[in-house]
Amino acid sequence: MSEIFDVAVIGGGMVGSAIAYGCAIRGARTVLLDGADGSLRAARGNFGLVWSQGKGARMPAYAAWTRASLDRWTAFSEAMGSAAGQEIGYRRTGGLDFCLGDEDFQERTEEVRRLHNLVAGGPEIQMLDRAELRALLPNTPFGPNVTGASLMPDDGHANPLLLLRGLHAGLHRAGAEHRPGIAVDSIVATDGAFLITGPTGQTRAHRVVVASGLGTPRLAAQIGIEIPMRAVKGQNMVTERLPPLLPMPASALRQTAEGVIQIGVTSEEGETRTATSVNHLARMATRAVEVLPVLKQARIVRAWAAMRPMTPDGYPAYAQSALYPGAFAAVCHSGVTLSAIHASVLAEAILAGALPAEMADMHPARFEGRTDVQAH
């Protein structure tokens, strides 16, 4: 039979690609098996924030994990740019979350107080009132209802499609194989290797990583890892290229390096189709115009929706199988933000055969017996 890879990663989205890239550049013989063009792929439809603001309020380990990924992002984005053949648009400018109206401002101020010192020694989230916001961004034409914003100093954004291209080009350059169009059906532990079967054939590997986004629960169950998940739909739209308006990305509103304004984003539960809907897009546009009234002149050139892979508490799930050591599962929301740490710490841990203690709280064992699927 064919060769035995060191690592087979199932799922070529944001999480699987980062893991496969990280394994490949560390010298492991790696294969990345990815699903069909029609599958649900958040990696190709997300908002592109590299973001820590507000993350991990109820799970300090996740807040620290996010912080550790951000700390790696500058060097990581350079590696991605060199692999992709063009820089991936990473801007570590600080990230905003705007407040509209006084009540919103009061509530956010409270929240920011609670989030104080979330990661010991890390940068602190700050609350800006309208005057401070205008002093920070004097050339941004804010609407009258913008009462302030919370600011996280080294949050930022990147072009998520170029990031994905960088990961794929990088793993290819490091000698890994990328096999798209292969929706894996089964994983079986055989003597000395895992046997992975899809419609077009079989792959064997000493380690297997299920990182299949919304396809994860079915495959992870086969290696004895239970991860309940649901899809949360998010709609996006982009304008034509515009003059510089917003030098810092914000939650649901950012201007790309090329001048496009991206407007997000819904969180819709119970949806099965990735169609956009005018009522949601109109609400998103209304909010964007409230923040930046000049946007009412802008033309929308494209809108789309994608499904977020979501665990019951919204936090990541990482596990090695107790039944089949060498078999792992990894899923998360915020896979763009976490790609830098997936490509380093997580890939190293998979090669070493043990997940480090800092990841223990993110084990899916925490979902055992849970039937609710609350948003985070």
Q: Which residues bind another protein (CB under 8 A)?
A: 141-144, 240-243, 245, 258-259, 293-294, 296-299, 301
Residue 297 touches which of another protein, ligand FAD, none (Cβ within 5-8 Å per kind)? another protein
DSSP assignment of 212-224 equals -GGGHHHHHHHTT
Q: How many Å apart are CA 28 and CA 171, to the nearest integer?
A: 11
Nearer to another protein among residue 257 and residue 373 (C-beta): 257
The amino acid occupying position 368 is E
Residues 332, 51 contacting (CB under 8 angstroms): no
Nearer to another protein among residue 67 and residue 254 (C-beta): 254
Structure tokens at 220: 């992870």
CB of residue 302 vs another protein: minimum separation in angstroms? 10
Q: How many Å apart are CA 162 and CA 226, to the nearest integer?
A: 32
The amino acid occupying position 347 is A
Nearer to ligand FAD among residue 122 and residue 335 (C-beta): 335
Nearer to ligand FAD among residue 24 and residue 331 (C-beta): 331
Q: Tell the residue number behind the tokens 């980062």, with chain if given.
A: 18
Residue 88 touches which of ligand FAD, another protein, none (Cβ within 5-8 Å per kind)? none
Residues 332, 364 contacting (CB under 8 angstroms): no
Question: What residues contact 274, with CB distance under 8 A and at least 6 apart?
Answer: 40, 45, 233, 304, 305, 306, 307
Nearer to ligand FAD among residue 191 and residue 258 (C-beta): 258
CB of residue 167 vs another protein: minimum separation in angstroms? 24
Closest CA to 253 of 125, 142, 132, 116: 142
Residue 45 touches which of ligand FAD, another protein, none (Cβ within 5-8 Å per kind)? ligand FAD
CB of residue 226 vs ligand FAD: minimum separation in angstroms? 17
CB of residue 22 vs ligand FAD: minimum separation in angstroms? 13
Residue 243 touches which of ligand FAD, another protein, none (Cβ within 5-8 Å per kind)? another protein
Binding site for ligand FAD (CB under 6 A): 10-16, 33-35, 39-43, 45-49, 51, 183-184, 211-213, 215, 219, 234, 236, 265, 306-309, 331-337
CB of residue 145 vs another protein: minimum separation in angstroms? 9
CB of residue 129 vs ligand FAD: minimum separation in angstroms? 26
Q: Tell the residue number behind the tokens 């941004």, with chain if given.
A: 140
CB of residue 88 vs another protein: minimum separation in angstroms? 16
Q: Tell the residue number behind the tokens 């964007």, with chain if given.
A: 288
| Coil vs helix vs strand at 308 | strand
Residue showing the smallest CB distance to ligand FAD in the complex: 13
